[in-house]
A and B are shown apart, each in its own frame.
Chain A
């Protein structure tokens, strides 16, 4: 894939454009939040609780206060009401139990890492030094750590709430009228069919974005300006205003270039709120940038579920019902999306299949651990993992090929649009085509033959093939649907187009890029629609004063929702320009055609470029009577439906049966994401997504010990893969355009992550199934795989101790 071919007019969409933003990002010609330095700026350091659950009985700030260049040391009590609150935007049930979440608690900490005091000093180093001098007295309380135990309320994470169960959310197809009775389907299958019952663990993960979180707050001037490494500047502004009483119009939030998020920066963080409160209180600009250790410990975590699953099928393999019972670990607080994450999965367990009956229930549980929230895929990877693992188990039970069993149950391409048992209407798709292409790329039959040969030979290295035929719902989201689910906001997106006098174009989007490549993709869309050169388009975003309206970037929504808003705003510009063109060309508006950036009078060679019209409108010397001298337009678009990308992913792994080591051998995928705007960006999204999903299958796990301490608190122990650990992926696409947006696009940001995890685990289990293994707990560490082979278990729990590489005892002062 190269970006060297010459552009042809009107052919930006589908072109491998190199990303506009990369030159400045790669050469460092930009300012990240931590690079922002303001005159007189003060620096913050947080004092954090080492205990998962404790009463704060005293905070002695005396020594810290008198340390060099310390300006203030503030506790939750000092900040008082002014500190606002961290909000939960999605109470999933009306009686949800939601602990109050102060940015800095005053009396009790609920997880290890929670902030109890903030030191303000003239330099970051002095703030850090003084933070060590703050003496906090804690009275330790029993901590709710294990999810299953916490669900039983044995120890309460928040004693005053009386329960750890925040919410029980349920969907039943018989009750909803979207399908049959699942209990009946299971009962029938027990009599005369197949019942597969499994329990799977979704381990806790850490988003681990590249740029740690950072915030600068400047209270100088009429508006308080907040720079933050966030995915959600608009939501942050709203939450700051709503909880502090500062008028929304007095707050400006800027998300400058942001180095990744993966959902991990879809949050209103305590640190942002503390910085805001301190800046207001002292009347001085302040900055807080977290360390990597603080980031791993306190930025929200993801996943962490137990999944109890019951699948009923006929003897020939037609699924008759699926029952899902989840325990979801919310951690210490209900985060901004919080309990909504498992609920997002509720609609996806039935995946690409035609299940007649379905029931879903999640029990959302509070514990004394870092709070969890959206992480790439949010709810959908969990659902996809569960069903794709189960379909493999069903195939095994039947002695059939896993792809054959899937095909028996999936929605045929001629059946679209199709309303699922979860009540969603899938607009388009072609599972047959994507699967056929993936099989061809993979060399499926040859690899199966090799597998059989290795098994027969008793090779120490066994080959396993894993399948994942996923779909997801993305493009969050139709506002009415969100309303019906009790979500606190809408799901629309906003765009503006500004036609500049010199023929250049500015586009403003409410989506907030943090590495995706919006500037490039949105430029391509506008270039085609307006017929202006790609280079002449500037995309502005991430500043609430420039992009005053927006709902930001997450849930694979920017292109499918924000892109559609942009198309509508662009069309308005063209319609505003038409009467001007008619006037200047002395023709009737009806006789004008617009293409390639020009209005032409039908049947003549007379015409005018839209950029010329923009100049004429700027001068405003000669406009139609009564016309407002502006072509600028805006549009707010509320999607009518979600968006349903799908794909077939095939993975081959080699398992060293002597050590349990898993090696990726081949990974191919054929995704259908509708019309592709920029194949290069899509490849990047797919590759990165795959690695993140594969990492859940094989490497990553956030582990706490019995004291509630995060053991995987650095990259020595939280194993993020690098390029050295992965292989070259082979990716391709089929195209079933989305029917619910005018570009025909579907989301791609989360696809790779959602699809790949079960493909890999299915492959690992497939490699050793003949040795008596039917499941391996994630991550499939060599130790777990080896144990599974040894005793047929799923590998056991992780030992809760880190490898010590850094000597804490050596010399010096502690």
Chain B
């Protein structure tokens, strides 16, 4: 497992990184935690001539309180995001998802921004980011721009980040007091989800005032279970009511078929897991 030879730079600022990216263009790849890129290089599925490491750019690391939102630096590791008290308080769904993400070694290396930029439809962070209406801050030669979660995920491994841009920050609107649950379905512990459901709800007494649900691996990008969300809004959090809404979760999805299950099975799983996730988020299980 030896990658092809490449040149390596580790710039100290985003500007320098952007300059390196501009200079080498198509021949360059950005490396964050390397947990997705390194296997690709080692298996020689890809052989960039330049690898630009964001690891020395301190400004890309950490969770910041931005007033009405949290700003998570792209290079913050899964571990650090998962342990962060602000994230726990204002974006519980992300904390929950991270406890299921890979294993401890990977969580200490892999980054929040890297995982989202990688845009694996089976990645555990896309659905929570989508459900929480995250805003992605990307920086390019012409400055920064913001991309809404709904526009960020374009296709399998494809995002709205252009070749000459870097994802610098992900902003999550604060949602203190929301219940959350991430139901991840796997065959063995250290696996990517076959299907997962990210659900977060705001309760008013016994009633679900608002529900936000993202589905993992139910298409080439993370998807929202809009029909379910709408049906849940204003409903009491009963087993039957939630089950009826969850039955709509897979509507309109185009899940893949692979070793772990075909599309039909995934659609079925999505409804079961949605019911469980919503009930758990509502504190009903």
Q: Which residue of B lies closest to A779 (CB)?
A: B187
- What CA separation (Å) do A659 and B188 show in the bound complex? 15
Contact (Cβ within 8 A) A783 B256: no
Given A803-B258, A806-B40, A810-B46; 14 other pairs, CB 8 A cutoff: A132-B4, A659-B185, A717-B259, A722-B189, A781-B260, A783-B262, A799-B257, A803-B192, A803-B260, A804-B156, A806-B45, A807-B118, A813-B49, A814-B47
Enumerate chain A residues within 8 angstroms of B260, measured Cβ to Cβ. Answer: 781, 783, 803
Task: Give the distance to chain A from B112, nearest Cβ to Cβ, in Å.
Answer: 17
Q: Which residue of A lies closest to B44 (CB)?
A: A132
Enumerate chain A residues within 8 angstroms of B259, measured Cβ to Cβ. Answer: 703, 711-712, 717, 798-803
Most chain-B Cβ atoms within 10 A of its Cβ — which of A724, A781, A787, A812? A812
Enumerate chain B residues within 8 angstroms of A714, measured Cβ to Cβ. Answer: 43
Contact (Cβ within 8 A) B1 A811: no
Q: Decide yes or no whether B249 CB sits under 8 A from chain A.
A: no
- What CA separation (Å) do A154 and B1 show in the bound complex? 38
Task: Give the distance to chain B from A313, nearest Cβ to Cβ, in Å.
Answer: 36
Task: Give the distance to chain B from A285, nearest Cβ to Cβ, in Å.
Answer: 20
Q: Which of A128, A659, A802, A811 contacts B258 (CB 8 A)?
A: A802
- What CA separation (Å) do A234 and B4 show in the bound complex? 37
Enumerate chain A residues within 8 angstroms of B157, measured Cβ to Cβ. Answer: 807, 809-810
Enumerate chain A residues within 8 angstroms of B194, measured Cβ to Cβ. Answer: 782
26 pairs, A vs B, C-beta closer than 8 Å? A124-B2, A125-B2, A125-B5, A128-B2, A128-B44, A132-B4, A132-B44, A659-B273, A703-B259, A711-B259, A716-B192, A719-B191, A782-B261, A786-B268, A798-B259, A804-B120, A805-B192, A806-B39, A806-B45, A807-B156, A808-B40, A810-B46, A810-B157, A811-B28, A812-B48, A813-B48
Contact (Cβ within 8 A) B187 A719: yes
Q: Decide yes or no whether A201 CB sits under 8 A from chain B.
A: no
Q: Which of B44, B122, B190, B257 contacts A805 (CB 8 A)?
A: B122
Most chain-B Cβ atoms within 10 A of its Cβ — which of A124, A711, A782, A809? A782
Contact (Cβ within 8 A) B1 A293: yes
- What CA separation (Å) do A724 and B272 show in the bound complex? 24
Contact (Cβ within 8 A) B187 A786: no
- What CA separation (Å) do A619 and B153 show in the bound complex? 83
Q: Which of A124, A711, A798, A814 contacts B46 (CB 8 A)?
A: A814
| Chain A contacts with B in 125-163, Cβ cutoff 8 A | 125, 128-129, 132
- Binary contact readout A698-709 vs B (1 if CB under 8 angstroms, 0 otherwise): 110001000000
Q: Decide yes or no whether B36 CB sits under 8 A from chain A.
A: yes
| Chain B contacts with A in 94-120, Cβ cutoff 8 A | 118, 120
Enumerate chain A residues within 8 angstroms of B190, measured Cβ to Cβ. Answer: 722, 724
Q: Decide yes or no whether A292 CB sits under 8 A from chain B.
A: yes
Q: Decide yes or no whether A661 CB sits under 8 A from chain B.
A: yes
Q: Decide yes or no whether A658 CB sits under 8 A from chain B.
A: yes
Enumerate chain B residues within 8 angstroms of A128, measured Cβ to Cβ. Answer: 2, 4, 44
Q: Which of A293, A659, A802 contacts B43 (CB 8 A)?
A: A293
Q: Is the interface of B mostly helix, strand, loop or mixed?
A: loop
Contact (Cβ within 8 A) A129 B188: no
Q: Decide yes or no whether A220 CB sits under 8 A from chain B.
A: no
Q: Decide yes or no whether B27 CB sits under 8 A from chain A.
A: yes
Q: Decide yes or no whether B218 CB sits under 8 A from chain A.
A: no
- What CA separation (Å) do A782 and B262 show in the bound complex? 11
Q: Decide yes or no whether A57 CB sits under 8 A from chain B.
A: no
Q: Which of A659, A801, A808, A810 contacts B257 (CB 8 A)?
A: A801
A: residues with CB less than 8 A from B are 124-125, 128-129, 132, 291-293, 658-659, 661, 698-699, 703, 711-712, 714, 716-717, 719-722, 724-725, 781-783, 786-787, 798-814
B: residues with CB less than 8 A from A are 1-2, 4-5, 26-29, 36, 39-40, 43-49, 118, 120, 122, 156-157, 163, 185, 187-192, 194, 256-262, 265, 268-269, 272-273
Task: Give the distance to chain A from B3, nearest Cβ to Cβ, in Å.
Answer: 9
Most chain-B Cβ atoms within 10 A of its Cβ — which of A124, A699, A712, A781? A781
Enumerate chain B residues within 8 angstroms of A124, measured Cβ to Cβ. Answer: 2
Contact (Cβ within 8 A) A812 B26: yes
Enumerate chain B residues within 8 angstroms of A719, measured Cβ to Cβ. Answer: 187-188, 191
Task: Give the distance to chain B from A705, nearest Cβ to Cβ, in Å.
Answer: 10
Q: Which of A129, A724, A809, A810 contacts B189 (CB 8 A)?
A: A724
- What CA separation (Å) do A814 and B256 show in the bound complex? 25
Q: A811-B28, A811-B48, A812-B49 are in contact. Are A659 and B2 (CB under 8 A)?
A: no
Task: Give the distance to chain A from B86, nearest Cβ to Cβ, in Å.
Answer: 29
- What CA separation (Å) do A355 and B272 show in the bound complex? 47
Q: Which residue of B lies closest to A805 (CB)?
A: B120
Task: Give the distance to chain B from A447, nearest Cβ to Cβ, in Å.
Answer: 25
Task: Give the distance to chain A from B102, nearest Cβ to Cβ, in Å.
Answer: 11
Enumerate chain A residues within 8 angstroms of B122, measured Cβ to Cβ. Answer: 803, 805
Task: Give the distance to chain B from A346, nearest Cβ to Cβ, in Å.
Answer: 32
Task: Give the distance to chain A from B262, nearest Cβ to Cβ, in Å.
Answer: 5
Q: Which residue of B lies closest to A124 (CB)?
A: B2
Q: A803-B256, A804-B156, A805-B120 are in contact. Are A725 and B189 (CB under 8 A)?
A: yes
Enumerate chain B residues within 8 angstroms of A801, measured Cβ to Cβ. Answer: 256-259
Task: Give the distance to chain A from B195, nearest Cβ to Cβ, in Å.
Answer: 10
Task: Give the distance to chain B from A723, nearest Cβ to Cβ, in Å.
Answer: 9
Contact (Cβ within 8 A) A292 B1: yes
Enumerate chain B residues within 8 angstroms of A711, measured Cβ to Cβ. Answer: 259
Q: Which residue of A lies closest to B43 (CB)?
A: A293
Enumerate chain A residues within 8 angstroms of B118, measured Cβ to Cβ. Answer: 807
- What CA separation (Å) do A800 and B191 show in the bound complex? 18
- What CA separation (Å) do A714 and B190 show in the bound complex? 14
Q: Which residue of A lies closest to B275 (CB)?
A: A658
Contact (Cβ within 8 A) B188 A799: no
Q: Which residue of B lies closest to A656 (CB)?
A: B272
Task: Give the distance to chain A from B83, nearest Cβ to Cβ, in Å.
Answer: 20
- What CA separation (Å) do A720 and B1 show in the bound complex? 20
- What CA separation (Å) do A293 and B43 show in the bound complex? 8
Enumerate chain A residues within 8 angstroms of B26, measured Cβ to Cβ. Answer: 811-812
Task: Give the distance to chain B from A786, nearest Cβ to Cβ, in Å.
Answer: 6
Enumerate chain B residues within 8 angstroms of A786, measured Cβ to Cβ. Answer: 265, 268
Q: A659-B272, A783-B260, A811-B29 are in contact. Are A725 and B188 (CB under 8 A)?
A: yes
- What CA separation (Å) do A813 and B157 show in the bound complex? 17
Enumerate chain B residues within 8 angstroms of A807, measured Cβ to Cβ. Answer: 36, 40, 45-46, 118, 120, 156-157
- What CA separation (Å) do A26 and B282 show in the bound complex? 47
Enumerate chain A residues within 8 angstroms of B48, measured Cβ to Cβ. Answer: 811-813
Enumerate chain B residues within 8 angstroms of A805, measured Cβ to Cβ. Answer: 36, 120, 122, 192
Contact (Cβ within 8 A) B261 A129: no
- What CA separation (Å) do A781 and B44 show in the bound complex? 31
Enumerate chain A residues within 8 angstroms of B1, measured Cβ to Cβ. Answer: 291-293
Task: Give the distance to chain B from A407, nearest Cβ to Cβ, in Å.
Answer: 35
For the complex of A and B, the 9 pairs showing the least CB-CB separation, nearest first, are A812-B48, A724-B189, A807-B157, A783-B261, A808-B45, A801-B258, A291-B1, A806-B40, A783-B265
- What CA separation (Å) do A804 and B1 show in the bound complex? 19
Enumerate chain A residues within 8 angstroms of B43, measured Cβ to Cβ. Answer: 293, 714, 806
Enumerate chain B residues within 8 angstroms of A292, measured Cβ to Cβ. Answer: 1
Contact (Cβ within 8 A) A813 B40: no
- What CA separation (Å) do A504 and B257 show in the bound complex? 63
Task: Give the distance to chain B from A363, nearest Cβ to Cβ, in Å.
Answer: 28
- What CA separation (Å) do A291 and B42 show in the bound complex? 10
Contact (Cβ within 8 A) B188 A722: yes
- What CA separation (Å) do A293 and B26 show in the bound complex? 28
Q: Which residue of A lies closest to B26 (CB)?
A: A811
- What CA separation (Å) do A698 and B188 show in the bound complex? 10
Enumerate chain A residues within 8 angstroms of B272, measured Cβ to Cβ. Answer: 658-659
Enumerate chain B residues within 8 angstroms of A810, measured Cβ to Cβ. Answer: 29, 40, 46, 157
- What CA separation (Å) do A719 and B187 show in the bound complex? 8
